[in-house]
Structure 1
């Protein structure tokens, strides 16, 4: 199939730049700044990080609404407005006098995330490329996956020179200068007449026909569990490997290699797609992730082997991003994709928000990170069985 609507010249490149910047500033900036903010304001690291979690939950709740708006109005207005809201949110972080305003700023950032991060970008790519969407989806996730690599050192350098408040003022300006033009000048103002028929506001019956399909609900639950478990373990790989006897510096390198594994996994996803059916691909990835988590739970060493397993598990996690991006369109087509995919990813986004804090909390209850990995491996094994029914 050819493209489903006209692609603006430079649209994919512009969207890649916008995703790189939005992920770097609206998501990764707080993990980088958490220590100086905590030291300056007297808030615990958990409290500061919770602000990002709350914002991501808001993003999950807003996902279906943003998807419907994208289908009806096109991406320029929705993603452009989301960027403006993001600029205001980062500016509010910079001047936040107390914890209430700080949380309010990240709640506002949650609205911006819903309109600018992967789900709306995937909807645009799917509309532009139709059946040829896998390669551009891979491209945009590869670029977006570099957000922390690009912006973490820049943000740390700015904090050293300007403090965290001055840094967030600069980040608000960077978001306006780097991302807003990409959305305003390189995205469709409205969808073309060819695509307008599918952009008409769908009836509730049309949406419910898909979103209340038992297969849809089963797949939604399975992908949410898989995303949550893989993220909970890999984002906490440092304390897990330290409990196995590794030094902190080596464990930190392991976390970086997990990120490298994610990028490598995304490179390999198009080949997997060409050689497998939709259901087989889903089961293979889920089962591979479950094996990785079981190995991380029970393999006690040597450390190099644990790091290798963590990298391979990171590769599965990287593939899961692309599986999530194509799960709906592979099964139910691209009609009303924004609205349907918005419903689909809502619990997945919420799970991603909760995973970083759920991992340590569960490790505390179960007396260690290896036992936390056992629990997550069990959940992912259950999700694998569910995925076979989708």
Structure 2
């Protein structure tokens, strides 16, 4: 006879009725991540040219505001991670959503380049409080190892359609109302959807007395310090930094490469658009394969396939079949790091200080994504697309090597013993009771 699943007891509903809020939180975050990325990030591409025209400046200058926004998000990564570990995501993500909504309104009113940069930097700071890294920290705290991958996958699959929804929506709004009024509509959508969902649905998981002991600030600091002394953490950092640089470079330069080898712009843009769809496919492949194969093995293999695909495009990208095959092979790994990173960090260092450790890792990754297109542009100026795609392939191989090194030894951090004690007492690795 099967025993009934054990679920968390929420003290806010009388302290006795079994309640598990995890999947409700996943549903809310899937929606808020879609709206957040659509309005705070993807809409920029549609607004770029109209803003440059209105502000009487170049698209390069306007694009610099987005780079400044991304860098501002990197500055916030560690403080946000520390807050999430200490207090959870409800207050932070609600405040971040409200701030982002106000900044979207302010964005619609800018009349100078300086104002644009100021607003976009503010959006970068607010985005760090509400986007993937914060959402993943909330999910990791709610789900045990067995269900964590499925929960993260659900969010990334839904949010993966943000560009497909908000690029055409923003385009239609700009065409009908102009870019400034379009931003006001997007601000209204963002505020009406994300603020109440973050404020009403998010909450911290209930903890057992044993788990509460390991949530003490000193315990978190010990785990963070041990992670930073762990060479495998830095191998993981190298892997994701290299991979992030390769993905950003390919995003920016793929259309240019395809047109340079003779393909029409419409064909090149359509094929490049497959990357977003294939990122969802890659995430599904990773989640399914994790049930039978180690995560590190799958990720390293996918990164190696991407390296091969990037180099193969140099040889076969001139034909339509070769271009399609190369982009498909490369695209399968396009969104894999967003799932692999939280899984590998939580599995190695537990969840006691997950958000802080993830925030530390986010800083160099974000910097690489911001700087990679500039470096690739310099390579292109010096030698065309051959050195650019070669660099992408080499970066993917470095990423694969970093993942393999990370997997080579067991975790040395002192959290391991605490984690085992928590598992013994609660039945999970997350410091609370949930379904086995």
Shorter chain as denominator, the TM-score bin is: over 0.9
- In the alignment, the residues of structure 1 paired with residue 317 and residue 22 of structure 2 have an alpha-carbon distance, to the nearest angstrom, of 52
Q: Does 1:291 align with 2:308?
A: yes
The match for 2:404 is 388
Cα 1:199–1:84, aligned 2, differ >3 Å: closer, same or farther? farther
Would the aligned equivalents of 1:233 and 1:359 in 2 still touch at CA under 8 Å? no
Shift of 1:292: 1.6
Report the CA distance shift for 1:267/1:9 in structure 2 as closer, same or farther (over 3 A).
Answer: closer
For the residue of structure 2 that corresponds to 1:246, the secondary structure is coil
Task: Look at both structures and tell me which one has the larger radius of gyration over its CA atoms.
Answer: 2
Q: How many aligned positions are there? A: 388
Partners of 1:266 and 1:300 lie apart in 2 by 25
Q: Matches of residues 1-390 of structure 1 in structure 2 within 5 Å?
A: 6-7=20-21, 10-131=24-145, 132-188=147-203, 190-194=204-208, 196-202=212-218, 204-366=221-383, 368-390=384-406
Write the deviation string for residues 92-146 of structure 1: whole angstroms up to 9, x where unpaired: 2111121111001011001111111111111111111121110111111111110
Supply the distance in 2 between the matched residues of 1:36 and 1:278 (Cα, whole angstroms): 44
Gaps of 5+ in 2: 10-19, 407-436
- Is the helix fraction higher in 1 or 2? 1
Runs of at least 4 residues off by over 6 Å: 1-5
Structure 1, 104-113 or 338-347: larger mean CA deviation = 338-347
Structure 1, unmatched stretches of 5+, are none
Q: Distance in 2 between matches of 1:277 and 1:119?
A: 23
Counterpart contact for 1:295–1:309, Cα < 8 Å: yes
User: C-alpha separation between the residues in 2 aligned to 1:107 and 1:10?
Assistant: 32
State which drifts further: 375-384 or 239-248: 375-384
**Aligned counterparts of 1:206 and 1:263: Cα–Cα separation in 2:** 32
TM, length-normalised to structure 1:
0.93
Distance 2:325 2:60 in 1: 29
**Does the residue aligned with 1:245 lie in a helix, a strand or coil?**
coil
Name the SS of the counterpart of 2:333 in structure 1. Answer: helix
- Shift, 1:191, TM fit: 4.2
Q: How far apart, CA to CA, are the structure 2 residues paired with 1:2 and 1:350?
A: 42
Shift of 1:198: 4.5
CA contact (8 A) 1:66 1:120 kept: yes
Describe the shift of the 1:172–1:178 C-alpha distance in structure 2 as closer, same or farther (beyond 3 A): same
